[in-house]
Amino acid sequence: MNYRRLGRTGLKVSEVCLGTMTFGAAGWGNNEAESDAIFNFALDAGINFYDVANSYAEGESETILGRIMKGKRDKLIIATKVFNPMGTDINDSGTSRVHIMRSVEDSLRRLQIDHIDLYLIHHVDRETPTEERLRALDDLAHQGKVRYIGCSNEYAWRLCDALWISEVKNLARYEALQPQYNLLTRDIEEEILPVCRDKGVGVYVWGPLASGYLTGKYKVGEPPPEDSRFARRAESSMDRYLDPRIQKILEAVQDVAQELGKSMAQVALRWILEQEGITSVIVGSTKVEQLRDNVRCSGWSLPADALERLNEASAPPVRYPDSMELNIHERRANAVDMPTLEV
C-alpha cells in the first residue's frame, strides 16, 4: 500500500480509504462479524484511512467501527461527517453550531474514541452562515476533539469562500474535500479540482467505481446480479449508465484491463489516483473478495498510452467558458515568435 499527504498537511493516508457505509446497513450491508472481517483485511493490507458518517445506518456504522477497531486506534485515521438528520427535533440536522456540537459528542461516543482525525461537513447547508460552522469547527479543533476539518459535495465558489473566511478570521480551514469522481463523472475537473490543487486541499473521492458499474458486473440487456446494488433498486436507476458514451468508456476500461492483466475495478481506481491533486479513493465493500481486488490498485502506474485512451474515451463535453477560453489560452501559450514592426 502506498501513502500520500492529505493536501498541504503533514498527515499521510493510504491511497485506498475504506468506506464503512455498509457496516450495519440492514437489508443490503454487513453485520458486525462481516464488517470485522472486512476491517481486519483492510488493516492487514496497509489501509490506515477509514471513512464513516454519523448518519450511516442511523449511527450503527460508527458504532460497529468503534467496537471492531478497539486496540488498534493509534494506527488509524478516522474520518466522519455531520449534516444529515439524527433525530426528529428541528435542530437535529444541518451545520448550525448546536447540531455540530451535539453531533461530534455523539460520534465520539459511538466510535468510542476521544478525538476524530478528520471531521467533514457532509452536504451543502444553504441556511447556516459559513462563519458560524467554521467557528464551531475551529472550537472543536482547539478543544482537541477533531484534528483536521473538511467538507464533502461542496461547490468550488463556496469552498473558496470558506477558505477565505478561515484565512481572514484566523480559523481552522478545510484541509480535505470529499467529492464524487470517477471515469463516468468527471465534473470536478472543471472548477473544484483546480481549486483544491491551487489551495492545497486534499481530495479523497467517493463513488470511484460508479456504484460498481466500472467493475463490469452490469451488462446491457442482462438483469443485474442478484446480490448487487442495482438488483435492489428500481430498474430506472440503471438507465443513466446505458447510453453510448458510457458503453464506450466501459469498453476502454475493459480493453486496458485485459492488456495489463488487471481487473476493470483496478484500472478504474488507478486512473483516479493518476490524476493530479487526488489523495485517496474510498472503496466500500460488502465482501472481503471485493476489497482484495480493489486494494491492488495501489503500487503501480498506468502506461502513458493507456492513460491517454481512458482520458479520451471518458472526456466530458467542454462547457462554457472553457469552450471559448481554452482555444484562446492555447494560442497564446503556443505563440513563440511574435511579429515586430521595423523602425
Q: What are the helix (H) ranges across the chain?
A: 32-44, 60-68, 97-111, 130-142, 156-169, 192-199, 244-260, 264-273, 288-294, 304-314, 322-334
CB atoms within 10 A of CB 98: 13
* Per-residue DSSP letter, 30: B
The single residue of 50, 56, 181, 218 carrying the catalytic annotation is: 56
Contacts for 326 with CB less than 8 Å, ≥ 6 apart: 318
Q: Is the dihedral of CA 139, 144, 148, 154 positive or negative?
A: negative
DSSP string computed for 200-251: T-EEEEB-TTTTTGGGT---TTSPPPTTSSGGGS-GGGGGGG-SHHHHHHHH
Alpha carbon distances (Å) from 219 to 163, 211, 239: 43, 14, 12
The label of the residue with cell 461537513 reads 121
Alpha carbon distances (Å) from 2 to 12, 44, 87, 123, 258: 10, 13, 39, 29, 24
- Give the span between the Cα atoms of 190 and 188, in whole angstroms: 5
56 is known as an active-site residue: yes
- Give the span between the Cα atoms of 104 and 38, in whole angstroms: 26
- Amino acid residing at 46: G
- Give the span between the Cα atoms of 272 and 96, in whole angstroms: 34
Contacts for 163 with CB less than 8 Å, ≥ 6 apart: 173, 174, 199, 201
CB 62 within 8 A of CB 54: yes
Q: Write out the catalytic residue numbers.
A: 56
